[in-house]
Amino acid sequence: MRSFSFTGLLCLVSIAPFLRVLAAPPKACAPKVKESVIPPRGWTQHGIPSPDHTIVLRIALPQPDFNLLEKHLYEVSDPSHARYGDHLSKEEVERLVAPHQDSIDAVDEWLRSYNIDSNDVHRSAAKDWVTVKIPVSLAEKMLDTTYHVWEHSDGDQIVRTTSYSLPENLHAHIDLVQPTTMFGRFKGLKSTIVWPDEAEAPPQLKTLVGTVNTASGAIVDASCNTTITIKCLQQLYNAVGFTPKILKNSIGITGYLEQFANIQDLQSFYAEQRPDALNSSFKFISVKGGLNDQNLSLAGAEANLDVQFAFGLSFPIPGTFWSTAGRPPFKPDVGTPTNTNEPYTDWLDFVLSHPSPPLSISTSYGDDEQTVPKSFAIRACASFAQLGVRGVSLMFSSGDGGVGDNNPNPATQQCFTNDGRNATRFIPLFPASCPFVTSVGGTVGVPEVAVSRFFSGGGFSDYFERPWYQEKAVKKHLSTLPKGTYKGLYNPKGRGIPDVAAQGDRFRIFLSGVPRMIGGTSASSPTFAGIVALLNDVRLSKKLPPLGFLNPLLYSVDSSAFNDITVGHNSGCGTTGFNATRGWDPVTGLGTPNFGILAKLVVQKGH
């Protein structure tokens, strides 16, 4: 029988987890700093939030068997392994990421000590995340910290702290608590320029060839040099004439930041570019109160772009669009009383709780990697791995800032470290830098070159080591760089991005009833996701499992499966960035897909 206080139990657990008898209760554990950061450039303290300001705390419990899940992921995703395609079920994954009961009990008792009732605690399906909604005044007591309102130079405001502490014994039972030290500015990855339909082509496109035989032998219409349509993508990527057969297939698009995919705009797009899809739509799912405002004037450029091209390219494969509530940079006033978490974690919680998520999913949003605490990035990345091992392919835009910030004015560039040194550094993007997702860069023109109006995000992660599947390709590229190139500006041992590329500029969409041109790697990711959905159809029609986590396959297939991009670069941080070269490069990855060849290769990789 326990005869000591809760705080005594906490201290006892960390010193002797199996001891059950004490001569006298130990002293309460002192708080110890769990995590601290230096505020990123551009953020300044603006004030103190109201004590009643609401925070939704997310508490991550350790996943002691994640190494086993990672082993499963690589085995079922490696086409040379006997288990290729043998994906795990939702329940099998949850067992692999579940925390030890000791951690659950320790966190529960800690919460109870602050009178947080179990009815007010939300748990993820695997119990590895605990969420509580509390006033900031209570959060400050629990975390031995002080929150402030922080304002960015562009006016965005968030409620954050630069350091938080936990009782020392709880450090072994809690990986992280957020929102605390996360200053990320979750953003859509599209060009800020939306051209009218009749806009003139940029000068660099006028120098490219019009109608041309691509590497696949397909002929591409000359108009694709100035306007990208579904027909252009089918021609460029050797998918003309292919019609999906398996309607049990699926594709999904994530939507954030009050981006609404407008159905009327989709019908206008289909009428012009995909008439056989006219009057079809997609499944809408609200996450955490995400809205679906169909007012034509509120249509989202990002959401419309993603939905129109991903679903238009993969029709008639059923599509899903998630609208996830939450906007991390916000004004903490009466109108927005709750400090939301980074919304892709809310989406991850939701989608992981469902037994059959779409098989190909595209996300066109991200943060600068260094503004995301490493502990948080690792845990979010682990959640992406959970989807991959279940047979889901995840695509993320690689970013539009080249190797960091392609602002031509050095005085306003943001390519500096957040570690207090303010050293110049290339800035990779997260989640694109996660090794368990497929990062998609951008190309333009016919024949394709690295996109040059904005710059295809690429480089090397500072958080994640280079995974085995890209070791050969990346090392080969690095060996071609002149000695000392950009020394100290990037991590040559880091995970290289992007993995692949697709067209990313001058996409013709319908927005608020009007045709528009738009660009960014936010166009590239849904395009590649559409191709992956078609490839899944090829496998499913042969009664083979879906592709799941793609990267081990992509880096192992014959180079003819990709249109190698060898022209262009990704400027940024006052440099010309990296060059597109033969083979993999940190601008366009392995290149753009050749569906015809990939369709033959994926059925050779059976299970």
Mean pLDDT of the chain: 87
What pLDDT, on the 0 to 100 scale, is given for residue 42? 80
Find the mean pLDDT for residues 175-182: 94
Q: What is the DSSP-derived secondary structure letter of residue 566?
A: -
Between CA 166 and CA 171, with CA 170 as vertex, the angle to 5 degrees is: 80
What pLDDT, on the 0 to 100 scale, is given for residue 62? 98
pLDDT of 420-476, one tens digit each? 777 889 999 999 999 999 999 999 999 999 987 667 899 999 999 999 999 999 999
* Residue 244, CA atoms < 13 Å, CB-side half-sphere: 26
> What Cα–Cα distance (Å) separates residue 61 from each residue in 102, 116, 176, 370, 383?
10, 17, 8, 23, 13
Written as one letter, the residue type at 440 is: V
What pLDDT, on the 0 to 100 scale, is given for residue 24? 38
What pLDDT, on the 0 to 100 scale, is given for residue 183? 83
Q: Poorest-confidence range of 87-101, 118-132, 290-304, 382-396?
A: 290-304
What pLDDT, on the 0 to 100 scale, is given for residue 409? 57
User: Higher-confidence residue: 256 or 329?
Assistant: 256
pLDDT at 205 over 80: no
Strand partners, 134: 55
Beta-strand relationship, 360-363 and 393-397: parallel
Kindly name the residue from 103, 522, 524, 571 that is annotated as catalytic: 522
pLDDT of 54-109, one tens digit each? 999 999 999 999 999 999 999 999 999 999 999 999 999 999 999 999 999 999 99
CA 283/CA 320 separation, integer angstroms: 5
448 counts as catalytic: no
Binding-site members for Ca(2+) are 564-565, 583, 585
pLDDT of 29-46, one tens digit each? 889 999 999 887 788 998
Q: Poorest-confidence range of 154-168, 185-199, 497-511?
A: 185-199
- N-terminal to C-terminal alpha carbon distance within the chain: 53
Confidence of residue 288 (pLDDT cuts 50, 70, 90): confident
Kindly name the residue from 78, 151, 306, 448 that is annotated as catalytic: 306
> What Cα–Cα distance (Å) separates residue 362 from each residue in 145, 432, 437, 516?
37, 11, 10, 21
What pLDDT, on the 0 to 100 scale, is given for residue 156? 79
What pLDDT, on the 0 to 100 scale, is given for residue 17? 40
Q: What is the DSSP-derived secondary structure letter of residue 299?
A: B
pLDDT of 464-483, one tens digit each? 999 999 999 999 999 999 99
What pLDDT, on the 0 to 100 scale, is given for residue 407? 63
Written as one letter, the residue type at 329 is: P
302 counts as catalytic: yes
Burial readout 384-417 (b: 16 or more C-beta within 10 A, e: otherwise): bbbbbbbbbbbbbbbbbbbbbbbbeeeeebbbbb
Find the mean pLDDT for residues 580-585: 96
> What Cα–Cα distance (Å) separates residue 455 from each residue in 122, 447, 460?
41, 17, 15
The sign one gets for the Cα dihedral 398, 402, 404, 409 is: negative
Domains of the chain, residue spans: 31-63+98-182, 188-602
Find the mean pLDDT for residues 164-175: 97
CA 531/CA 234 separation, integer angstroms: 9
Q: Helix-strand-coil percent breakdown of the chain, rounded to 5?
A: 30, 25, 45
pLDDT at 339 over 90: no
Kindly name the residue from 35, 94, 175, 302 that is annotated as catalytic: 302
522 counts as catalytic: yes
What pLDDT, on the 0 to 100 scale, is given for residue 399? 86
Give CATH for domain 188-602. 3.40.50.200
Binding-site members are 564-565, 583, 585
